[in-house]
Amino acid sequence: MAFQVILLSGMIWYCFLKWLKYYKVPDNFPPGPPSVPLLGVLPFMQGNLKDAMQRWRKEYGEVVGLHLGSELTVVLSDFDEISNAFKDKRFTGRPKALTETMTAFFASHPGEKGGGIVFSEGEQWSEQRRFALKTLRDFGFSKKAMEDVILEEVFKMIQVLRADEDSMSLNQVLSVGVVNSLWTILTGQKLSHGDQTVMKIVTGTDDFINNESMSGPLMMMPWLRFFPYIKEKFQASKEAPLSMRKLQNKMVAQHEEEQSGELDNNNGVRKESKDFIDVYLDKIKETRDRKSSFFGDQGRLNLQRSLTDIFGAGTSSGSSMLLFAFLYVIKYPKIQTKVQDELSRIIGKNTVSLDDRSNMPYTDAVLHEVMRHSCLVYAVPHATTEDVSVQGFDLPKDTVVYANLWQVMHNTDYWQDPEIFRPERFLDRDSKFRRDERCIPFMLGKRFCIGQSLALQQLFLFFVTILQHFELQAPGGAEAVSIEPIVGFVHQCPKYSVKLVGRM
């Protein structure tokens, strides 16, 4: 009994200290909803984070201050404020709780430090992101050469779809095509459409991130992963990233062996690097500065984490956007017909090319409306790296700053009837495509999504080629199709089936 009393007293004292440290709202901090120690606003959210952000905005304004778990947090809903803040280097940090959770999720052993691109900050983040962007550009993210890699996967997928044109789900076959495109760039190898190894890994990681019931609270309160039941679920969810890590380590070892063999067979001269891993290994070998994030063991850890970051970001966003795109065209068959009419005029039976996009304004408008309306990532978390000011309010260092992208892309003061799916909003009076700076599905500023270019290429080539070869129909009729996203830590496309009718 005495032990229980001591334990309870200790927990109360711990909570009190936490409250003193974290729940004293700074002077001149933005107004917001009430909080309680350790949990912050969670007991008062009444639903998911997305809906709560919209309620807070209506009640407290465009800049809302609150506590998410133990972290001081601000939600920005105004486009101009988000744009100014996220272009400022002082807003390029990552939330401590989110970083701790994701580091533990991907770590192979307790105490392992984070790294890579997505969950790092400061000089390490700058080095890794700069290197990754340059290397990925060199290997096709912004080159027409990437077109061949993507189209090869598209035509593989078409063969799979032709074998089963009855009612089916597109989830698996789309994911395989998107995964294979990116896998080729990173590793120089191709996967067969029957290879389930990588697909199981990707699916497992996506399940954790999309599972709001566990990942949502953990992103704000990482200490929950030590509690019974949650601990077991968290450990079980780590199977996918650990399997990915083993596969990546195998690929890295294979590249090192191949590089060594090339040196032995070519009098110490190695052939030109052929993929991302090759270039990264070269960077590690040439780095002599011990403080560099590319040096030695730290470099190898960052290689592994960067592969995970790029692969995870590219495959998840690419396949999800495609699923939403095909969902909208079976929901609105007249829109599908207009896309196919434009497709027939511009491409006919020829193979689609990225160059065709500029001649297909309606199709481009449809894809941008898909990205705006679905708003795959409805809120993006950054953190301040020093004390800053926003709209006259003071934000201390390490304040979490969420960009409310859902509000930006559904603001009734800017978008006319934003709840309606209307591609014409991206066309001018001459029916030419018109880009809108407030359509920001990949975010903006210094930490915009590193996989943006590839995702846009995949979206266009997969979407157009599939609609060139098939008419997509809803088995139960378009009226029965729901386009309401499933709200987790990000938006998930609702499950649906499709009937494919050949056109070519």
Residue ranges at the known binding site: 449
| β-strands 400-404, 71-76 pairing | parallel
Sign of the dihedral through C-alpha 132, 133, 138, 140:
positive
Cα maximum dimension of the chain? 82
Among 375, 362, 449, 361, CA closest to 141 = 449
Q: Which amino acid is at 212?
A: E
Evaluate whether 48 touches 490 at the Cβ level (below 8 Å). no
Give Cα 385 to chain centroid, integer Å.
22
Q: Which helix (H) or strand (E) holds 14?
A: helix 2-22
Cα 472 to chain centroid distance, Å, stands at 27
Decide: residue 17, CB within 10 A, 0-12 exposed, 13-18 middle, 19+ buried.
Answer: exposed
Which residue stretches of 394-473 are H helix? 405-409, 452-469
Angle made by CA atoms 16, 19, 20, in degrees to the nearest 5: 90
CA atoms within 13 A on the CB side of 369: 27
Q: How far is CA 474 from CA 40, 168, 277, 332, 466, in A?
A: 43, 10, 42, 10, 15
CA distance 78 to 302: 35
Residue type, 304: Q
DSSP letter assigned to residue 32 = -
Gap between the Cα atoms of 178 and 458, Å rounded: 7
Report the binding-site residues for heme: 449
Q: CB within 8 A of 139, min separation 6: which ones? A: 185, 275, 276, 279
Question: From the centroid of its chain, how far is CA 371?
Answer: 13
Are 303 and 186 contacting, i.e. CB atoms less than 8 angstroms apart?
no
Q: Which residues contact 402 (CB under 8 A, 6 or more apart)?
A: 53, 73, 74, 75, 76, 379, 380, 381, 382
Can you name the residues that pair with 65 across neighbouring β-strands? 74
∠ CA 35-226-240, nearest 5°, is: 110
